[in-house]
Amino acid sequence: MSEPAPEIRLDQLTGLRTILAPGRADRPFEFGFPDNPSTREADCPFCEGREDRTPPETWADRPDGAENGPGWRVRAVPNLYPALAPSGDGAAEAGHSEGPRDPLRASARAGQPELFAGGAAEGIHEVIIHSPQHHRALSALSEAELSVALSGWRARMSAHGETAACVQLIVNEGPDAGASLEHSHAQLYALGFVPAAVARERERFRAHHESTMGGGLLEDVATEEVRRRERLVAVDDEAVLICPWASGSPFELRLIPRRAAPRFEAEEGVGDAMLATAVRALAARFGAEPQLNLWVRTAPSGAEPFHWHIDIVPRLSVKASFELSTGVDINIYPPERAAVELREALG
């Protein structure tokens, strides 16, 4: 019996979306769970020479060799356990979970709001493998290797940017961050909707632009952070690296390009060196690659003005009941203190 297709449901109280993807429960986990011994590098499906262990590639930066074989530098494949289904794959329809149908109540229900709204979770879910070697983290890549990987991100985001409402690229490193395989990789979601968090950013960019008669929100933030230096970690000709003013957890980082541009994927090479600095700073501060979540915020549909950025959140704390029930984070490590320690770690 095949798994149900991915589905979107709307929460009745908040109106926020949840994606139900039961097929992802079958993912292999290689991080030392009981009765599930680690395979690690010896059996990693993402390493060069094991291309037959993944779905056929959708794209590759391949100087040498044949398609779906060795010779690549970065490689993209469909996620074997997708959270989204390609359009027309037969995901469940809205209203499927409303319980037994009562024909005698049909007319009464017709004028009532839909309490169990849902629909197909359509879109594209890809994996972008950063290197043919078994590097476990972005910080383990050389600066040149990282730039090649980021070019892969941009290529795949560009491929989906014209048709998706929102393209979300993420990196999970470590089991606490949600990774199931340790070989360094990113995931790309080409969504048919704009998530609430992205839409909120879009509206705040627009509101700031209007209230300042043409000002740029993140441009103004970056300029002021460089001037104050309290939360500044590093700055170069292309980008600023800060611990954000309202960091929700310890050692959060935000990479802001100094020149406002809406789409990360259109800015080849911009910020690559600063991202290398960011992951190096975290590794230096903690003496090892910390588990982390990273995401690229690029302009969704209908976003003008917008300013792309990259956020990095090390997994150093756990959200407890207050955070989960209110959506308000409690951060015990002020960003000013984190920025000082990261600057010192960089030397």
pLDDT in tens, 235-291: 999 999 999 999 999 999 999 999 999 999 999 999 999 999 999 999 999 999 899
- pLDDT recorded at residue 7: 92
Instruction: Name the percent of the chain lying above pLDDT 70.
Output: 89
Per-residue DSSP letter, 293? E
> At which residue do the structure tokens 């960011």 appear?
278
- pLDDT recorded at residue 308: 98
| Within a domain: 20 | no
Measured from the Cβ of residue 222, the count of other Cβ atoms closer than 10 Å reads 25
- pLDDT recorded at residue 3: 72
pLDDT at 295 over 60: yes
Which residue would you say has higher pLDDT here, 182 or 2?
182
Beta strands in 203-245 (DSSP E): 232-235, 239-242
Beta strands in 184-224 (DSSP E): 185-191
Instruction: Tell whether omega for the bond before 82 is within 30 degrees of 0, i.e. cis.
Output: no
**CA 149 to CA 139: how far, in whole Å?**
12
pLDDT at 104 over 50: no
Q: How far is CA 17 from the centre of its chain?
A: 17
In CATH, what number is assigned to the domain containing residue 60? 3.30.428.10
Q: Residue 227, exposed/middle/buried by CB under 10 A (0-12, 13-18, 19+)? A: exposed
Average pLDDT over residues 200-217: 96
In terms of residue numbers, what domain contains 291? 38-80+123-347
Asked which of 89-103, 191-205, 226-240 is least confident by mean pLDDT, the reply is 89-103
Which residue would you say has higher pLDDT here, 329 or 104?
329
pLDDT at 123 over 80: yes
Q: Domain count of the chain?
A: 1
State phi, psi for 12 to the nearest 5 degrees: -65, -30
| Within a domain: 9 | no
Q: Which two tokens stand for residue 30?
A: 């290689």
- pLDDT recorded at residue 96: 42
Split at pLDDT 50, 70, 90, the class of 4 is: confident
Asked which of 106-110, 275-279, 319-323 is least confident by mean pLDDT, the reply is 106-110
| Within a domain: 73 | yes
- pLDDT recorded at residue 32: 40
**Strand order of the sheet with strand 17-20?**
17-20, 7-10, 118-120
Split at pLDDT 50, 70, 90, the class of 342 is: very high
The 10s digit of each residue's pLDDT in 127-149 is 999 999 999 999 999 999 999 99
Measured from the Cβ of residue 297, the count of other Cβ atoms closer than 10 Å reads 21
Per-residue DSSP letter, 85? B
- pLDDT recorded at residue 24: 84
Question: Residue 14 carries which side chain, given as an amino acid letter?
Answer: T
Split at pLDDT 50, 70, 90, the class of 91 is: very low
**CA 69 to CA 63: how far, in whole Å?**
12
| Within a domain: 97 | no
**CA 333 to CA 250: how far, in whole Å?**
5
